[in-house]
Chain A
Amino acid sequence: MNKFDVIVIGGGIIGLATSYYLLKSGKKVALIEKNEFGSGASCACDDAIFFQSKKPGINLELTIDSIELYKSLSDELGIDLELENKGGMVLIEKEDHLKVMEDFVKKQKKFGLKVDILDRRDVIKKQPHIRKDILASTYCKEDSQVNPLRVMRGFISKSKKMGLEIIKNNIIEIKEKKDGWKVLLEDKKTVESEFVVNATGAWASEIGKMIGIDIPIVPKRGQIAISEAIPSLGETNAWSAQYIVTKIAPELDRNQNEVYKRLGIGFALSQASTGNYIIGSTREYVGFNKKTTYEGIQLILKEAMALFPIFSKVNVIRTFAGLRPASEDGKPIVGEVEGKKGFYIAAGHEGDGIALAPITGKVVADLINGKRVRYNIEELNLKRFKY
């Protein structure tokens, strides 16, 4: 059997979510993965569904709906996804960061996100282990987390039961036919379908080249360290304002140390349900190199100790790096490719893949099924990059 309704390329969280929602709508789906499930970014990341890092607009809109889907997915997939709502704080150490954050918070509030600025006393109440001279922080109750490994496992096992064909192989060639697509695999087998979804994350542009299109997505390496399991240090997950400022006001970066800039250091801290702390991370342009470096890990952990001095006594047990698929404008690329009927892209989520996986999968399934989606989805189409 080599004919399907849809071929999904990429066994990361986006490809799996897309496969699942397509299967749910009654489509026959094959999923092609060249390596291991989640080996690019989805299994080498943190667990945040972080509203505060989203610029008001379509990314934030999608995040809000994505979390609604997550709420029902534990039941649908029959596995506890460890969806938790602890809230999140963006820790502010510098006056100029405070100004940027106040402005950003104002915009988010206008959009309807419940987020506030806390003064030092209230910060310490929620984070008793924080450095005592912390300036301020934001607080957003909505910030949540979900265990990506469990989400992936849930999607795989449920989708298999629903008839998903899993193909672990390399793609040699993708050919456009009159009524669909033909994919030639390394083992000489071919699969055919009416629709193809390119959900290959950092590899999206390589797949794009096979059909002669340019997809402006590049890999950004994110290194992360995992601590031993310890009791909770504070009420919420936490990020440094530097992380947000790097994302939304990079011009303020000029004061930053060259090394920090090159490594794209932005501190992010969350505690998994197992008690291990996930300490991140870097954002580096080093191609497809997925190795961790002593320099990167050292600086991340230095940030952790600077903000939470108690970390000096905590063991780090593991480090890893994932390749965040970064699009040129920080928004994912989702939708059908103009002039390539039936060829869809669902990639370029950078650090938002876990948060946006369910809604991305649902939207792509709806588009393929010819249903209307309620977002201005054109905003995410590849054609926005045509100048």
Chain B
Amino acid sequence: MCNEIICRCEEITKEEIEKVIEDGAQTANEIKRFTRAGMGLCQGRTCRGLVERLIKEKTGIEPQNIVPSGYRQPVRPIKIGQLGLKNEQN
């Protein structure tokens, strides 16, 4: 079951996340940066918990000690034109 998809937006598998932990990633943010898990349209809403569970499985760190990866504004996708800016060229 190694090819289970963990991050659906970026199509990152369990195998890839385990590999990057072996390669030296130790935190949720490092896993995010080095695999792209959590960088897609939903910004990790689906995969955060799963990634944290994999960290526990691979490293033995207790879940309460795992720092979640950062939350980035705008959290949900928003059209640039809706940010309250006037497009002066048009």
Does A15 have its Cβ within 8 Å of any Cβ on chain B? no
Please indicate the chain B residues that have their CB under 8 angstroms from the CB of A312 in the complex. 79-81, 87, 90
Does A311 have its Cβ within 8 Å of any Cβ on chain B? yes
Does A306 have its Cβ within 8 Å of any Cβ on chain B? yes
B86 nearest CB neighbor, chain A only: A302
Per-residue CB contact flags for chain A residues 26-45 toward chain B (1 = under 8 Å, else 0) read 00000000001111000100
Q: Which of B35-43, B48-56, B57-65 contacts A (4 or more CB under 8 A)?
A: B35-43
Minimum distance in angstroms from B30 CB to a CB of chain A: 6
Please indicate the chain B residues that have their CB under 8 angstroms from the CB of A371 in the complex. none
Q: Which of A206-214, A253-261, A313-321, A343-351 contacts B (4 or more CB under 8 A)?
A: A313-321
Q: How far does the alpha carbon of A250 sit from the alpha carbon of B89 in the complex, in Å?
A: 25
Q: Please determine whether A297 and B73 come into contact, CB atoms closer than 8 angstroms.
A: yes
- Give residues of chain B (1-49) contacting chain A, Cβ–Cβ below 8 Å: 10, 20, 23-27, 29-30, 33-34, 36, 39-41, 43
Please indicate the chain A residues that have their CB under 8 angstroms from the CB of B72 in the complex. 292, 318-320
The interface size of chain A toward B, counting residues with CB under 8 Å, comes to 37
Please indicate the chain B residues that have their CB under 8 angstroms from the CB of A304 in the complex. 80
Please name 28 pairs of A and B residues whose Cβ atoms are closer than 8 Å in the assembled complex, sorted by A: A36-B29, A36-B30, A37-B30, A37-B33, A39-B29, A152-B34, A156-B23, A156-B25, A156-B34, A157-B23, A228-B77, A274-B36, A292-B73, A297-B83, A301-B85, A305-B89, A311-B80, A311-B81, A312-B80, A313-B80, A313-B81, A314-B80, A315-B80, A316-B77, A316-B83, A318-B39, A319-B72, A320-B72
Which residues on A are within 8 Å of B, measured CB to CB?
Answer: 36-39, 43, 131, 149-150, 152-153, 156-157, 160, 166, 168, 227-228, 274, 292, 297-298, 301-302, 304-306, 309, 311-320
Q: How far does the alpha carbon of A37 sit from the alpha carbon of B33 in the complex, in Å?
A: 9
The interface size of chain B toward A, counting residues with CB under 8 Å, comes to 32
Which residues on B are within 8 Å of A, measured CB to CB?
Answer: 10, 20, 23-27, 29-30, 33-34, 36, 39-41, 43, 70, 72-74, 77-81, 83-85, 87-90
Q: Please determine whether B34 and A149 come into contact, CB atoms closer than 8 angstroms.
A: yes
Q: Among A160, A301, A306, A318, which residue has its beta carbon within 8 angstroms of that of B43? A: A318
Q: Among B26, B34, B77, B80, which residue has its beta carbon within 8 angstroms of that of A168? A: B26
Contacts A39-B29, A301-B80, A311-B81 aside, 18 further interface pairs with beta carbons under 8 A come to A38-B33, A150-B34, A152-B33, A152-B34, A153-B25, A156-B23, A156-B24, A227-B80, A305-B85, A305-B89, A312-B87, A314-B80, A315-B80, A316-B78, A317-B77, A318-B72, A319-B73, A319-B74
